[in-house]
Homo-oligomer: A and B are copies of this chain.
């Protein structure tokens, strides 16, 4: 079968690989769709996982298959697995924990010190024809959720987890800085839990348009004084804010300065380098800054339930569908060049034929 594997910095190849075999406790998934994530771009640019590094959970060395946001159809089920059947449509939770480290023991498996991801550390990835995954990481999609939308569950779980970390609840006011895939996901999740008002700060016109479609109160910070606007419409500041852009000082400070006393700001984006903050903003108003990393099985279940019962309708996040063979040039490299301002989520399919171009 084929797989997009990362061999080094800016070296991802459309390789011929051996089809994975069923093991105890696993199911085999024929990949339908796999989303390209901001962290795939970062992996491509920096190749942070050395080829000779074996993650303690996955134990693999060598080039790894990319793709950690994916859905598919179950084609084989190990004899010891119950509750999942051939033909089921599933979304795969790609992160794993060792279950024994202090974070795991505290009940925070997403912070496991040996955390491992399908699509980063081993056990294949969504940018391939087949993946064999532990059965408890394959979430059956209920009737009415398509495989395309199933491929969005992973990135929505990132946003869902962050919204829970923020403490937002019914009636909350929120600011989301940056309307990329995660920022728009935050908007959807905030609306799904009953947030009253979600202000979204974004520059790209297509992303602004999508944020409006999702019910966001959209502000272009080049045209409007964002912090003044937030204070004017939210009685002195929002309950929660999110930096989903990772730009740096202007975005993180906008997120912090827009909080009411006692409010919480969540970092959901990767940053490059240090950012200055004003500690007195924390001291005098008991504001909080917290990080949110990945998700747990609970987040996956809750996102699927919210889509199933209509609280979230995320399908418009999908802006392009491309063939697996094209996923580097027309996917990753396109997003690194000009695509970030026009695309939101690009889905890759092994079933699509390569486009001649």
| Contact surface of A with B, Cβ cutoff 8 Å | 102-103, 106, 108, 110-111, 113, 165, 235-236, 243, 246, 252, 260-262, 267-271, 273-293
**A110, A236, A261, A275: most-surrounded residue (chain B CB, <10 A):** A261
Cα distance A29–B110 in the bound complex, in angstroms: 55
Q: Label chain A's interface by main secondary structure.
A: mixed
Which B residues lie within 8 Å of A110 (CB)?
Answer: 286
CB within 8 Å for A290 and B288 given contacts A262-B103, A279-B267: yes
**A111, A235, A270, A292: most-surrounded residue (chain B CB, <10 A):** A111
- 19 A-B pairs, CB-CB below 8 angstroms? A102-B260, A103-B260, A103-B262, A108-B261, A108-B262, A110-B286, A111-B262, A111-B285, A111-B286, A113-B236, A243-B279, A246-B279, A269-B279, A270-B280, A274-B279, A275-B278, A277-B277, A282-B289, A286-B292
**A165, A235, A273, A286: most-surrounded residue (chain B CB, <10 A):** A286
The 9 A-B residue pairs whose C-beta atoms are closest, nearest first, are: A282-B291, A274-B276, A271-B279, A288-B290, A111-B261, A283-B291, A267-B282, A289-B289, A286-B291
Residue ID in chain B nearest A277 by CB atoms: B277
**A103, A269, A290: most-surrounded residue (chain B CB, <10 A):** A290
Residue ID in chain B nearest A292 by CB atoms: B286
Residue ID in chain B nearest A107 by CB atoms: B262
Which B residues lie within 8 Å of A269 (CB)?
Answer: 279, 283
Cα distance A103–B262 in the bound complex, in angstroms: 8
Which B residues lie within 8 Å of A286 (CB)?
Answer: 108, 110-111, 165, 290-293
Which B residues lie within 8 Å of A106 (CB)?
Answer: 262
CB pair B270 A283 closer than 8 Å: yes
Cα distance A267–B281 in the bound complex, in angstroms: 10
CB pair B288 A293 closer than 8 Å: no
A346 to chain B, nearest CB (A): 23
Cα distance A111–B288 in the bound complex, in angstroms: 14
Cα distance A299–B252 in the bound complex, in angstroms: 32
